[in-house]
């Protein structure tokens, strides 16, 4: 009986831990917003963080979206052949990249790259008492460490996502011309058929929330790290798992709220 209940208990405990993590990240995120008025503390760190979180994430984001674009085009043509005109490939690639795969895949990739990086860095600062040292030098660690990261995430995620979308569509386009006998004109015709400028805004809104999530969760796990190197490792893993989960939940949430 108890062995039968064990998995259920484990799921329950996992869910509870996840909820606690979400609560803590939300709390810290609110503090970070409140610390926005301490511009002298976070101001100097904003641009370096934007570069670390955004610019340095561009290669991985482009790599992912390029291959996604290629696969989307091939799958679309495989599915549509004989049923509908092939220029619908353009419509499918564009719509899917913009609405779903651009934001979500980039978000997940960056939760690994950016979230883990932040959690490890701040976690190390916590266990080596560097955060306490900031406090004793009268630096508010939330304003100094969290605010610039969350702000940089909110600004840079949408930019990286929009770049990914563009590259994904371009890759789909190239694939269509090279492998699928679809002309450039046809692809663009399909692309424009269902295009709605609102879709880009939708992607941007989603990406902003993903950026805030990944950075706030990373900071929060870093801040609450306990123990030495092992604690930092644990914080890093959990930050990635939890922010990936939240990204998927948010994705469904935004679809339900903004698309229906």
Partner 1 sequence: MSIKMVNVHRAFGEKEVLKGFSLEIQDGTTTTIIGGSGSGKSVALKHIVGLLRPDEGNIWVDEDNVSRLDQESVYRLRQRVGYVFQFAALFDSMTIAENVGLGLRRMSDFPSEGIPDRVEECLHLVDLDGYGERLPSQLSGGQRKRAGLARAIATKPKYILYDEPTTGLDPVTTAVIDELIVRMSEELGVTGVVISHDMKSVFRISDRVAMLYDGVIREEGTPDQIQGSDDPIVRGFIEGRPELMEGQQT
Instruction: Pick between residue 124 and residue 147 the one whose CB is nearest to partner 1.
Output: 124
Q: Which tokens is 1 given? A: 């009986």
The CA dihedral of 127, 143, 34, 216, to the nearest 10 degrees, is -50
Which residue among 37, 67, 132, 185 contacts partner 1 (CB under 8 A)? 132
Q: Is 51 in the site for partner 1 (CB under 8 A)?
A: no
Q: Is 139 in the site for partner 1 (CB under 8 A)?
A: yes
Q: Is 136 in the site for partner 1 (CB under 8 A)?
A: yes
Site stretch for partner 1 (CB under 8 A), options 6-14, 124-132, 175-183, 242-250 = 124-132
Site stretch for partner 1 (CB under 8 A), options 2-10, 133-141, 164-172, 182-190 = 133-141
Which residue among 26, 140, 205, 233 contacts partner 1 (CB under 8 A)? 140
State the minimum distance, in angstroms, from the CB of residue 120 to partner 1: 13
Q: Is 43 in the site for partner 1 (CB under 8 A)?
A: no
**Which DSSP category does 102 fall into?**
H
11 burial (CB, 10 Å; 0-12 / 13-18 / 19+) is: exposed
Q: Is 225 left (phi over 0), alpha (psi -120 to 50) or beta?
A: beta
Which residue among 128, 183, 201, 237 contacts partner 1 (CB under 8 A)? 128
Backbone φ and ψ of 163, nearest 5°: -65, -45
142-171 positions binding partner 1, by CB under 8 A = none
Query: Between the CA of residue 169 and those of 8, 90, 193, 200, 222, what are the distances in Å?
Result: 43, 8, 14, 13, 36
Residue with tokens 């900031």: 134
Site stretch for partner 1 (CB under 8 A), options 95-103, 130-138, 154-162, 252-260 = 130-138
Q: Which tokens is 109 given? A: 């990739």
Q: Is 137 in the site for partner 1 (CB under 8 A)?
A: yes
Q: Residues in the site for partner 1, rule: CB under 8 A?
A: 124-125, 128-130, 132-140
């Amino acid at each position: 009986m108890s062995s039968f209940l064990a998995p259920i208990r484990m799921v329950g405990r996992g869910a509870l831990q996840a909820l606690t993590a979400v609560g803590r990240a939300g709390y810290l995120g609110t503090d970070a917003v409140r610390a926005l008025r301490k511009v002298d503390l976070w101001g100097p760190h904003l641009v370096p963080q934007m570069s670390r979180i955004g610019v340095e994430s561009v290669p991985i984001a482009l790599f992912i979206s390029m291959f996604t674009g290629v696969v989307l085009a091939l799958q679309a043509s495989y599915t549509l052949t004989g049923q509908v005109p092939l220029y619908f490939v353009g419509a499918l690639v564009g719509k899917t990249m913009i609405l779903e795969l651009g934001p979500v895949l980039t978000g997940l990739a960056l939760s690994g790259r950016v979230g883990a990086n932040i959690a490890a860095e701040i976690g190390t600062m916590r266990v080596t008492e560097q955060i306490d040292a900031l406090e004793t030098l009268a630096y508010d660690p939330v304003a100094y460490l969290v605010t610039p990261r969350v702000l940089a995430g909110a600004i840079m995620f949408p930019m990286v996502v929009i770049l990914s979308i563009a590259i994904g569509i371009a890759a789909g386009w190239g694939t269509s011309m090279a492998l699928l006998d679809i002309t450039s004109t046809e692809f663009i015709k399909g692309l424009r058929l269902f295009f709605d400028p609102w879709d880009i805004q939708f992607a941007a809104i989603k990406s902003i929330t993903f950026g805030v999530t990944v950075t706030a969760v990373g900071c929060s796990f870093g801040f609450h790290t306990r123990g030495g190197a092992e604690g930092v490792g644990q914080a890093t893993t959990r930050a990635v798992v939890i922010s990936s989960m939240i990204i998927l939940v948010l994705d469904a949430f935004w679809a339900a709220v903004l698309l229906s």
